[in-house]
Amino acid sequence: MISRIRGMNDILPPDSILWNRIEAAFRRTVARYGFYEVKTPILEETALFTRSIGDATEIVEKEMYTFEDKGGHSLTLRPEGTASMVRAYIENPETDGDSIARWFYFGPMYRYERPQKGRYREFYQFGAEAFGVAAPEQDAEMMAMAVHFLNEIGIKDVTLKINSLGDNSDRQAYKEKLLEHLRGRESELCEDCKRRMTTNPLRVLDCKQENCIAVAAGAPLIIDSLGPEAGAHFEKVKHTLDGLGIKYVVDPHIVRGLDYYNRSAFEFITENLGAQKAVGGGGRYDALVEQLGGPSTPAVGFAMGVERLIALLKDQGAQSLPSLDFFVIPMGEAAQEYSMKLGARLRSEGLSGEIDCSGRRLKNLFKRAERIGARYTIIIGDQELAEGAANVKNMESKEQQRIALDDIGRSTLK
Ligand code: HAM
């Protein structure tokens, strides 16, 4: 038997029902903010991710699915969506001189992480990116849109945590302070982090090793190194969120696992998912478009993970049972033929249901009617056919009624 690849999942009903609900709620929400969908290839040139996410990040160092194609090109299964959006933004010739673009995406991402609950090697993200606006109101709007979505889908107990990572110059100054702290405790760091002290010391703050977490906990905070401009930006983001009634917590320990951020960084955190606490995250990345070869363009965005949202919804007791309007049980050849036509008529009226063609025993068929969530079961034998009426059972109240065949439809299957 061939099994699925470790860390990759089949999405089966009833989970797929919750999945569709999440996707529909996200699409509904972003449409209200004027965001449009962009679909990009799942495979990209490896350099796109190494140059954007950053060489010293966990994602690039350890988690990418990278391989050579038959032409010898190094390709990578995308570990996230932002880099591809930026590439598409730069390559898109049809902007008419307008640098503003409001895009969203939905699709599979790949990270070679150690699989556990809420952490997979193939997972689905949806996200939104706003290009071309540097103002703090844009950061706040993105966070508000994400909160709006969480409310729309009915997710509770998720906290929006925000921080500022400052501007490039602020981070240079901060790096010095951080290095001073790290040098004092270098022997406690993992080998990767010892190396990161020279490649990118900020990444030590994001390491998942216990010892490194302890060292990071005592480190100076980047928020204490903000210059006046980044500081004012952060104040305005908070002020705008306050004005919109969006609740948040300032968490100076948020650094994000990707290198491209500056100024706002935020995460949606839950305590209900075990070790995987982030259901979403994002931030501002004003340098990335230019860094990847485009014109200097500010941008801010976020992404959320579908699997973690499904787990949260299930944890909250969300119902994801299938439901159909009818299940027809024909008994006999003529009844079968009639039932196929009855099904066609009911579906043309907008009802949904299943016609049994298996001819299994009645007891089994009633079990199936329950499994598929049929509201009504319609039993038609050759005798019923001759009499022009069928037994219709309301599966909830268990009441059975005899209804003329021609009357079975929207008005009777209420
Ligand atoms: P991220 O924080 O790496 O950000 O991922 C966003 C979300 O994807 C996480 O909060 C989590 O829900 C989900 N996720 C990440 N890894 C896994 C995994 N292995 N298994 C299941 N779910 C996972 C980004 O990817 C940025 N591109 C977000 C962004 C958009 N920043 C600006 N624009």
Mutate to test the pocket of ligand 1, among 308, 310, 312, 313 (most ligand atoms within 8 A of CB): 308
CB of 123 within 6 A of ligand 1: the answer is yes
* Average pLDDT for 167-196: 93
CB 65 within 8 A of CB 34: no
Give bridge partners of residue 402 from the DSSP assignment. 391
CB of 279 within 6 A of ligand 1: the answer is yes
Q: 94 pLDDT exceeds 80?
A: no
Say how many Å lie between the first and final Cα of the chain, rounded.
45
3-state DSSP percent of the chain in helix, strand and coil, to 5: 40, 25, 35
Question: Residue whose CA is closest, atom 4 of ligand 1?
Answer: 281
* Average pLDDT for 190-200: 91
pTM: 0.93
Q: Is the peptide bond before 14 cis (omega within 30 degrees of 0)?
A: yes
Question: Residue whose CA is closest, atom 17 of ligand 1?
Answer: 119
CB of 330 within 6 A of ligand 1: the answer is no
CB of 281 within 6 A of ligand 1: the answer is yes
Which DSSP state fits 221? P
Could you list the beta-strand ranges (E) of 299-341: 299-305, 324-331
The CA distance from 320 to 250, in Å, is: 35
CB 309 within 8 A of CB 348: no
With a CB cutoff of 8 Å and minimum separation 6, the contacts of 358 are 365
Q: 95 pLDDT exceeds 80?
A: no
CB 48 within 8 A of CB 83: yes
Sheet holding 65-68, edge to edge: 43-45, 74-77, 65-68
With a CB cutoff of 8 Å and minimum separation 6, the contacts of 61 are 55, 192
What's the pLDDT at 352? 97
User: Which tens digit of pLDDT belongs to each residue from 38-76?
Assistant: 999 999 999 999 999 998 899 999 999 999 999 999 999
Per cent of the chain over pLDDT 70 is 100
Lowest-confidence segment of 157-166, 310-319, 346-355 by average pLDDT: 310-319
CB of 54 within 6 A of ligand 1: the answer is no
- Going by C-alpha positions, the residue among 174, 87, 78 that lies closest to residue 123 is 78
- Going by C-alpha positions, the residue among 325, 378, 321 that lies closest to residue 351 is 325
CB of 298 within 6 A of ligand 1: the answer is no
Per cent of the chain over pLDDT 90 is 90
CB of 78 within 6 A of ligand 1: the answer is no
Q: 233 pLDDT exceeds 90?
A: yes
CB of 167 within 6 A of ligand 1: the answer is no
The CA distance from 129 to 149, in Å, is: 15
The CA distance from 148 to 128, in Å, is: 13
Question: Residue whose CA is closest, atom 8 of ligand 1?
Answer: 305
The CA distance from 229 to 209, in Å, is: 34
